């Protein structure tokens, strides 16, 4: 997906570029800045001395040196002074100028720390909002893999109010899978109650097939008329079953819309363009091209959910689109319950949804 929030050490990110939340001297400091300088080595400090510093909101690039990235893009975030001194505009410029610098360097991927949210005191929730807005604005017209790297156990990216509402929804709707259900699935069988008798389905499947009914001639000749009627009815039912089976086969051959066909129809019905759809779904252009060109494309569940969010489908419509791909939302999967919360709340911002999934230690969609 083009924009992903990950938990990692930014010095370990194997991207074309990483962003350093630097101070104006570019000569190293604490936090992320110090960690990057230590990992890159003394050559980075030597090159930084030649750059002559950097103004707040601007960005300058160096080589990656001892890091797994090709380039380090240094940007200076604003110090929080209450929010009335242009901090938001300056922070937005940090992301914008860093992304534009990466584009000039022909980078296909870049990783950001959460700029200014450490010792510079920018409120974390607001810093997340600015970062998401700047990155998504850039991705509307450019293709690049962008990562926002969160370090350590600091995981709450959404407001405490939203976190509480989602937690309550999970408490009301999440159903843990019962151990005995899992055991039945693992053992390959389940119990059937047949005319008051209990049998094990897996054992039944392994038993020898029942031979066709054999009726001795003498018994057939002595059959009463009702018995003959019963046999005729049995033959008729068998024929009907064969017809139904043939009809089912015909239906399968004339399969209804595939996932790809359903998706493209929904895009047309909503009046969206392809670009609007895959950008809003946080889906890579190349992946969307595969889906469009292959009517039998088999997507991941997270991809289907991302398109459901992008197209602002109702819960019923989402269930139908998932069914086309062979999936369904489960009350035993926490991420499914969280996505359902957003759909039922009418909140179709995929980046907010992914921030919520991240805050609950779930895999993002897209």
% pLDDT > 90, the chain: 72
DSSP 262-300: HHHHHHHHHT--HHHHHHHTT--HHHHHHHHH-TT----
* Residue 10 sits in the same domain as residue 121: yes
Task: Residue 308: name the closest of 329, 294, 292, 287 by CA.
Answer: 329
Question: How long a stretch of residues is the chain?
Answer: 366
pLDDT of residue 156: 67
Looking at the domain assignment, is residue 265 inside a domain? yes
In the sheet with 145-150, reading across from the earlier edge strand, the strands are 3-7, 145-150, 109-112, 17-22, 71-76, 59-63
106 or 210, which is more confident? 106
Which is it for strands 71-76 and 17-22: parallel, antiparallel or unpaired? parallel
Looking at the domain assignment, is residue 208 inside a domain? no
- When pLDDT is averaged across residues 9-37 and rounded to a whole number, the result is 96
Pick from 100-104, 154-158, 172-176, 256-260 the range whose average pLDDT is largest: 100-104
pLDDT in tens, 78-88: 999 999 999 99
CATH for 94: 3.40.220.10
Confidence check: pLDDT of 106 > 70: yes
Q: Using CA atoms, how far apart are residues 232 and 184, in angstroms rounded to an integer? A: 40
Q: Using CA atoms, how far apart are residues 254 and 215, in angstroms rounded to an integer? A: 40
Confidence check: pLDDT of 148 > 50: yes
Per-residue tokens: 268: 């047309």
Looking at the domain assignment, is residue 218 inside a domain? no
* Residue 9 sits in the same domain as residue 141: yes
Place of tokens 């939340």: 21
Looking at the domain assignment, is residue 183 inside a domain? no
DSSP 28-76: --SHHHHHHHHHH-HHHHHHHHTTT---BT-EEEEE-TTSSSSEEEEEE
pLDDT of residue 158: 86
> Number of folded domains in the chain?
2
Confidence check: pLDDT of 115 > 70: yes
* Residue 138 sits in the same domain as residue 17: yes
Domain region containing 335 = 257-359
Looking at the domain assignment, is residue 163 inside a domain? no
Looking at the domain assignment, is residue 30 inside a domain? yes
pLDDT in tens, 328-351: 999 999 999 999 999 999 999 999
Kindly name the residue from 33, 229, 284, 296 that is annotated as catalytic: 33
Which is it for strands 59-63 and 71-76: parallel, antiparallel or unpaired? antiparallel
Return the ∠ at Cα 71 (arms to 67 and 72), rounded to 5°: 80
State the pTM of this model: 0.74
Looking at the domain assignment, is residue 239 inside a domain? no
* Residue 273 sits in the same domain as residue 135: no
* Residue 132 sits in the same domain as residue 13: yes
| Residues in Cβ contact with 69 at an 8 Å cutoff, skipping those fewer than 6 apart | 13, 14, 15, 16, 17, 18, 111
pLDDT of residue 152: 67
Confidence check: pLDDT of 14 > 70: yes
Q: 80 exposed, middle or buried (CB, 10 Å; 0-12, 13-18, 19+)?
A: middle
Domain boundary pick from 130, 154, 178: 154
Looking at the domain assignment, is residue 65 inside a domain? yes
Domain boundary pick from 117, 137, 154: 154
pLDDT in tens, 25-55: 999 998 999 999 999 999 999 999 999 999 9
Pick from 117-126, 224-233, 306-315 the range whose average pLDDT is largest: 306-315
pLDDT in tens, 200-258: 444 444 444 444 444 444 444 444 444 444 444 444 455 444 454 455 554 444 458 99
Which pLDDT band holds residue 1 (cuts at 50, 70, 90)?
confident
User: Has 33 been annotated as catalytic?
Assistant: yes
Domain boundary pick from 139, 154, 169: 154
315 or 151, which is more confident? 315
């Amino acid at each position: 997906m083009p924009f992903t929030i990950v938990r990692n050490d930014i010095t370990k990110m194997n991207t074309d570029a990483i962003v350093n939340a630097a101070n104006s001297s570019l000569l190293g400091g604490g936090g992320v800045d110090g960690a990057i300088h230590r990992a890159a080595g003394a050559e980075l400090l030597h090159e930084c001395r030649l750059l002559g510093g950097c103004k707040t909101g601007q960005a300058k690039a160096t080589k990656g040196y001892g890091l797994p990235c090709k380039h380090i893009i240094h940007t200076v975030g604003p110090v929080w002074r209450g929010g009335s001194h242009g901090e938001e505009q300056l922070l937005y410029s940090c992301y914008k100028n860093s992304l534009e610098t990466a584009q000039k360097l022909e980078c296909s991927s870049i990783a950001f720390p959460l700029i200014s949210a450490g010792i510079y005191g920018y409120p974390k929730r607001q810093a997340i909002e600015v970062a998401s807005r700047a990155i998504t604005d850039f991705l509307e017209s450019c293709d690049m893999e962008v990562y926002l790297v969160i370090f350590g156990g600091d995981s709450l990216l959404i407001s405490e109010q939203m976190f509480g509402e989602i937690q309550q929804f999970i408490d009301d709707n999440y159903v843990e899978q019962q151990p005995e259900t899992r055991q039945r699935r693992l053992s390959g069988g389940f119990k059937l109650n047949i005319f008051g008798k209990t049998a094990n389905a897996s054992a039944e499947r392994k038993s020898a097939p029942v031979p066709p009914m054999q009726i001795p001639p003498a018994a057939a000749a002595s059959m009463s008329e009702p018995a003959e009627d019963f046999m005729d009815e049995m033959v008729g039912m068998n024929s009907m079953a064969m017809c139904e089976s043939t009809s089912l086969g015909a239906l399968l051959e004339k399969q209804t819309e595939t996932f790809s066909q359903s998706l493209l129809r929904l895009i047309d019905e909503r009046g969206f363009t392809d670009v609007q759809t895959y950008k809003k779904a946080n889906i890579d252009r190349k992946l969307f091209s595969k889906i469009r060109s292959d009517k039998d494309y088999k997507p991941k569940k997270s991809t289907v959910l991302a398109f459901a969010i992008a197209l602002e489908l109702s819960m019923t419509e989402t269930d139908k689109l998932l069914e086309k791909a062979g999936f369904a939302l489960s009350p035993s999967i926490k991420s499914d319950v969280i996505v359902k919360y957003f759909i039922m709340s009418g909140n179709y911002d995929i980046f907010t949804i992914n921030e919520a999934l991240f805050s609950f230690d779930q895999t993002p969609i897209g």
